[in-house]
Amino acid sequence: MTFLGFDKKDWLHKKLLVDEDKEKIQCLTNALFVDPNDGRVWQELGNRHADFDQEKALYCWSNALKSYLGRLEKFKDDAKKYSKDSTHLLFMDVYSSNVISEIASMYFALGSVYTNLEKYSLAVDAYKTSCTLEFDSDCLYYSASALYELKEYEKAEQLISENIGVTDDYKSHYLLGSIFWMQNEIDSSQKSYWNCIYKADTDAESCHYKSMAYGMLGNYQKKEYYLKKGFQIEPNNPQRALSLIEYYEENGDYNMTQKYYKKLHMLHKEQTREQKKDVIKNE
């Protein structure tokens, strides 16, 4: 995939036009050759590598973190300069609504990459700062998710309940169900899992959450059904295959486990082959 004269914007636009994950990865990689300091591109590239190569994903996320922190330091520096001379054309008005919105967005992205790196306390702080600058119900959801990982269930329950008051989506109900479960509030937990099932749609991600909710409710036939349905919708998504492998391993079904291991192996093999082709093209 060689396009002479393409700038970062061109590569990011082309990424939206291609279907295969390997092509999107190559577009993101090419965009970083043009601008190696774009944290959002580094993070998305890490997210896409995460399904196949955790080491590459961690490398990308670490670069995203450096970029976000550097950008926020620049905002702080501009704030100091602006406070001393607000008439200087080179100094950014950091108190304008559009700049505050950008800073809030940067803290949200920072929270996301901290979550990817499993630094949950720092993620909570970043999401809290983002929400203070500009309210976004997603901050409540992801903060609650990080608090759940930290086993701070009461705080997590408070935030996700507030989030449900705004969005009322299936992912939030599933998280609330898990929080109730960890606090041994079984009736409330089951109610939340049913809410998740009722509110979920028919896409692959919805099927994944339905499968998890049915599993927590003890209906393993439905859990298997929705795991398979999610894989049918997204057969090239390794996470769908992994979920089925974990399910069959837990249930001692060797034949089905091997079946989906083979499918996962083929996905990884195809990904590796395409990456090698791209390296040869770019040499």
Calculate the alpha carbon distances from 263 to 55, 105, 140, 240, 256 in Å.
Answer: 22, 38, 37, 10, 11
Confidence band of 160 (pLDDT split at 50, 70, 90)? very high
Calculate the alpha carbon distances from 189 to 42, 120, 156 in Å.
Answer: 37, 23, 14
Least confident of 98-107, 208-217, 269-278: 269-278
Least confident of 98-102, 117-121, 140-144, 166-170: 98-102
Q: In angstroms, rounded to a whole number, what is the distance separating the alpha carbons of residues 260 and 279?
A: 29
Give the residue from 131, 206, 196, 209 showing the smallest Cα distance to 164.
196
**pLDDT at 85 exceeding the cut of 80:** no
Confidence band of 269 (pLDDT split at 50, 70, 90)? confident
Specify whether the CB–CB gap between 113 and 65 falls below 8 A.
yes
pLDDT at 192: 98
**pLDDT at 77 exceeding the cut of 70:** yes
- The 3-class SS string of 169-192 reads CHHHHHHHHHHHHHCCCHHHHHHH
* Average pLDDT for the chain: 89
Least confident of 83-87, 120-124, 264-268: 83-87
In this predicted model, which residue has the larger pLDDT, 265 or 228?
228
pLDDT at 91: 55
User: Which residues are within 8 A (CB) of 70 and not within 5 positions of it... i.e. 6 or more apart?
Assistant: 37
pLDDT at 88: 57
**pLDDT at 274 exceeding the cut of 80:** no
Confidence band of 1 (pLDDT split at 50, 70, 90)? very low
**pLDDT at 22 exceeding the cut of 90:** no
**pLDDT at 173 exceeding the cut of 90:** yes
Give the residue from 209, 238, 206, 266 showing the smallest Cα distance to 57.
238
Kindly report, residue by residue over 43-75, the tens digit of the pLDDT.
999 999 987 789 999 999 999 999 999 999 988
pLDDT at 35: 92
Q: In angstroms, rounded to a whole number, what is the distance separating the alpha carbons of residues 262 and 170?
A: 32
Query: What mean pLDDT do residues 191-195 have?
Result: 98
Query: What is the maximal distance between C-alpha atoms in the chain?
Result: 72
pLDDT at 106: 92
